[in-house]
Structure 1
Amino acid sequence: MTQTITFGTYTKRLSQGIYQAEFDPQTGQIHNLILAATESNPSYLDLNSSSFNFSISTTPQAGGISVYDKAWNILDRYREEGLSFCHVTYDDKRQLLYCSSYHQGRLVVFSVSEEGQLQLTDQLQLEGSGPHPNQEKSHLHQAILTPDQYLVTCDLGRDCLETYKVDSQGKLTLIGIYQTPPGSGPRHLIFHPKEKIAYLVCELSGTVEALIYNGRGVFEHYQTLSTIPEDYTGFNATAAIKLSPDAKNLYVSNRGHDSIASFAIARDGHLNLLDIQSTKGQIPRDFALSPDGQFLLVPHQDSDHLTIFSRDREGQLSLISHHQQVPEAIFSSF
Structure 2
Amino acid sequence: MLKKMLFGTYTKRTSKGIYQADFDTETGAISDVELLAEVGSPTYLALSDANVLYAVDKQDGQGGIAVYDYDGNQATLKQEVIADGASPAYVAVDEARQLLYTANYHKGTVEVYSIAADGTLTQTDAFQAEGSGPRPEQDGPHMHFANLTPDNRLVAVDLGSDKVYTFDVSEAGKLSEAAVFETEVGFGPRHIRFSNDGKVAYLLGELSSQLSVLDYDATTGRFSLRETVSTKPEDWTEHNGAAAIYLSNDGRFVYTSNRGHNSLAVFKLADDGSIAERVQLISTEGDFPRDFALSPDENFVIATNQNTDNATVYQRDAQTGLLTLQTKDIAVSEPVRLTFVK
| TM-score (ref. length: structure 2) | 0.96
Shift of 1:60: 3.2
Aligned residues: 334
Structure 1: unaligned runs, 5 residues or longer: none
State whether structure 2 residue 183 is matched by structure 1 residue 177.
no
Amino acid at match of 2:118: E
CA distance in 2, matches of 1:48, 1:239: 24
CA distance in 2, matches of 1:62, 1:49: 28
CA distance in 1, matches of 2:126, 2:197: 32
Shift of 1:270: 1.2
Give the counterpart of 2:290 among 280, 285, 291. Answer: 285
User: CA offsets, 1:158-199, max 9 Å, x none?
Assistant: 101011111121111111011100010000000111351110
Match of residue 4 from structure 1: 4
CA distance in 2, matches of 1:92, 1:219: 24
User: Which moved further from structure 2: 129-138 or 241-250?
Assistant: 241-250
CA distance in 2, matches of 1:6, 1:185: 28
CA distance in 2, matches of 1:270, 1:17: 39
State whether structure 2 residue 239 is matched by structure 1 residue 239.
no
CA distance in 2, matches of 1:296, 1:152: 26
Secondary structure in 2 matching 1:287: strand
Amino acid at match of 1:262: V
State whether structure 2 residue 196 is matched by structure 1 residue 190.
no
CA distance in 2, matches of 1:84, 1:139: 12
CA distance in 1, matches of 2:145, 2:7: 19
Secondary structure in 1 matching 2:171: coil
Q: CA RMSD in A?
A: 1.0
Match of residue 40 from structure 1: 40
Give the counterpart of 2:328 among 322, 325, 333. Answer: 322
Amino acid at match of 1:193: N
Q: Which runs of 4+ in 1 moved over 3 A?
A: none
Match of residue 165 from structure 2: 162
CA distance in 1, matches of 2:291, 2:170: 32
Match of residue 214 from structure 2: 211
CA distance in 2, matches of 1:83, 1:167: 27
Amino acid at match of 1:120: Q
CA distance in 2, matches of 1:306, 1:118: 32
User: Which moved further from structure 2: 93-102 or 40-49?
Assistant: 40-49
Match of residue 114 from structure 1: 117
Instruction: Please tell me whether the aligned partners of residues 150 and 198 of structure 2 are also in contact (alpha carbons under 8 angstroms).
Output: no
State whether structure 2 residue 254 is matched by structure 1 residue 250.
yes
Shift of 1:26: 1.7
Identity of aligned residues (%): 43
User: CA offsets, 1:273-298, max 9 Å, x none?
Assistant: 11111111000000011011110001
State whether structure 2 residue 102 is matched by structure 1 residue 74.
no
